[in-house]
Amino acid sequence: MGMDSLSILTPTKPITTSPVTSEEDPTNPSTALLSSSSTSTISSSSSSTFSHKPTTTILFIALALITCIAVAASIAFAFLFFASINTPKSSNSIESIARPLVKLKSPVVLLISSDGFRFGYQFKTPTPNIGRLIANGTEAETGLIPVFPTLTFPNHYSIVTGLYPAYHGIINNYFNDPITGEGFSMKSHESHWWLGEPLWQTVVNHGLIASTYFWPGSEVIKGSWNCPEKFCQQYNGSVPFDDRVDTVLGYFDLPSNEIPSFMTLYFEDPDHQGHKVGPDDPEITEAVANIDRVIGKLIQGLEKRGIFEDVNIIMVGDHGMVGTCDKKLVFVEDLAPWIDIPASWIQSYTPLLSIKPPAGVSASDVVAKMMEGLRSGKVKNGMRLKMYLKKDLPDRLHYFESDRIPPIIGLVEEGFKVEQKTSKRQECGGAHGYDNAFFSMRTIFIGHGPQFARGRKVPSFENVQIYNMVTSILKIQGASNNGTASFAKSVLLQTP
């Protein structure tokens, strides 16, 4: 079925989530008030002696005892009072109602992407600002699940359309149109490539203002979105991160009726470093620390304007990262004894091997012969690559319903790569694009603001759910998508 129309959209199974619960806090031990039950026995001789004391002495002792008891009671009361203040609230008292806006006139969503921010990077180095968003917001506890393939353009566009790549049309970072042969690249801004309805278009459709600062697809003039000069930045990777933050903060200085209701903000790091050195290099740690710093700059700017608690910040990544080295390679030329696969048949090599044989060549035969060679034990790392007809790919990948997807897809194991022929080129870096079931491909999701509960953890979910979250916060009707409205409601606080 073709991708020229969104009529191919079919409902997907809702991603169910278990209710967020937490163990009840143990009751703090309380300090008992001083007991007044102790008594003493006074002997007759003592009593006789005591009866001869002056009356003033008796009064003094009585007053002293009363004073001691009063002081002790006061101390005990104070202890219990402050202990009760410091006792965490139980899970039964978790927020359920969105907090009211204090300064902004209407809801605002700021969607931030840190490209290639693998889940767990936040633990590599102190990240006090990201940590602040997490502690006072809602986090996907074990990370955000990207769509397949776990590549930059397909995932960024899935986040803002709520559609899997087979439905929004951006099925890879690079691919060819099966009919015209025209090639798509990350510089392609013609609207016919970009299907679905991105959030900036949805927002404008409802009479609101949207702004985009470097987001794949945002420069595409499509429908009601004309990429206005004031609110649509043309991609330029050399613009310092601080300048990007300053521009976004400047939008909040506009008159209230001119502040965009939806904003995007994009950072290339730590993806840039991850490809060069892999996920475990000190360079990644430095990049993560810098992302945290610019998030801190953003927070400070919002606080200075008195609107930090009013803005709904959604911070995500598009995918994770895994280390790769030369020993983890599969070479297509090694299959020559079974079948010759010319480079002209291949649209992408790794980690997603996409093959489109010419007319007259059976795709089924190609897959069968390739698998025979890969399983023979005579192809280096052959068992690490598995070939599929696209119709036979696991349903969970949602990677079938588009003519743009080549008929043959190869999935390579985590950390392995595919190349045409053996070379002496040395590589030990990082990659992504693998099966989204690999934990290394997970990224982050943090929601902070009036619509997100403080300190809440939710189960991992796919990024196609974010579109409905944004439309729910802005109280607008979204376009048809692969997410579920019920999931968005389960994550967000309810509007009173």
Is residue 232 within 8 Å of 218, Cβ to Cβ?
yes
d(CA 237, CA 127): 24
Average pLDDT over residues 125-139: 98
Average pLDDT, the chain: 86
> Could you state, in order of their start, the residue ranges of all structural domains in the chain?
108-322+437-491, 326-427
d(CA 241, CA 231): 17
Task: Give the pLDDT score at 95.
Answer: 81
Short-list 276, 213, 272, CA closest to 430 = 276
For β-strands 417-419 and 428-431, DSSP reports them as unpaired
Task: Give the pLDDT score at 94.
Answer: 65
Task: Give the pLDDT score at 116.
Answer: 98
Residue 218 forms beta bridges with which residues?
A: none
For β-strands 346-348 and 352-355, DSSP reports them as antiparallel
pLDDT confidence tier of residue 16, bands split at 50, 70 and 90: very low
pLDDT digits (tens, 9 = 90+) for 55-95: 555 555 555 566 556 555 555 544 444 443 333 333 334 68
- Whether residue 5 is predicted with pLDDT greater than 70 in this model: the reply is no
Backbone dihedral region of 489: left (phi > 0), alpha (psi from -120 to 50 degrees) or beta? alpha
pLDDT confidence tier of residue 444, bands split at 50, 70 and 90: very high
- Whether residue 33 is predicted with pLDDT greater than 50 in this model: the reply is no
pLDDT confidence tier of residue 427, bands split at 50, 70 and 90: confident
Judge if 108-322+437-491 and 326-427 fold alike in CATH terms: no
Task: Give the pLDDT score at 26.
Answer: 33
- Whether residue 25 is predicted with pLDDT greater than 50 in this model: the reply is no
Percent of the chain with pLDDT over 90: 78
pLDDT digits (tens, 9 = 90+) for 377-426: 999 999 999 999 999 999 999 999 999 999 999 999 999 999 999 887 77
Helix/strand/coil for 373 = helix
Task: Give the pLDDT score at 422.
Answer: 86
CB neighbour burial string for 37-54, b if at least 16 within 10 angstroms, e if fewer: eeeeeeeeeeeeeeeeee
**DSSP-assigned states of every residue in 424-457:** ----EEEE--S-TTSGGG-B-EEEESTTS-TTEE
- Whether residue 38 is predicted with pLDDT greater than 80 in this model: the reply is no
Task: Give the pLDDT score at 327.
Answer: 85
Neighbour order of strands in the sheet with 385-389: 346-348, 352-355, 408-412, 385-389
Average pLDDT over residues 244-255: 98
Architecture of domain 326-427: 2-Layer Sandwich (3.30)
Average pLDDT over residues 7-25: 37
Task: Give the pLDDT score at 59.
Answer: 58
* Tokens standing for residue 257: 């009726």
pLDDT digits (tens, 9 = 90+) for 288-340: 999 999 999 999 999 999 999 999 999 999 999 999 988 899 999 999 999 99
Is residue 487 within 8 Å of 326, Cβ to Cβ?
no
* Tokens standing for residue 95: 């927020």
d(CA 92, CA 89): 8
Fold type of domain 108-322+437-491: Alkaline Phosphatase, subunit A (3.40.720)
Residue 393's Cβ-count burial label (10 Å; 0-12, 13-18, 19+) is middle
Lowest mean pLDDT segment, chosen from 271-275, 422-426, 458-462: 422-426
Average pLDDT over residues 361-370: 98
pLDDT digits (tens, 9 = 90+) for 183-197: 999 999 999 999 999
Task: Give the pLDDT score at 75.
Answer: 55
For β-strands 329-331 and 417-419, DSSP reports them as parallel
Task: Give the pLDDT score at 71.
Answer: 53
Task: Give the pLDDT score at 61.
Answer: 59
Task: Give the pLDDT score at 329.
Answer: 93
- Which helix (DSSP H) or strand (DSSP E) does residue 294 occupy? helix 282-304
d(CA 175, CA 328): 25
Task: Give the pLDDT score at 326.
Answer: 80
Task: Give the pLDDT score at 425.
Answer: 75
pTM of the predicted structure, to 2 decimals: 0.82
Residue 313 forms beta bridges with which residues?
A: 110, 448
Task: Give the pLDDT score at 385.
Answer: 98
d(CA 160, CA 303): 27
The residues assigned a catalytic role are: 152
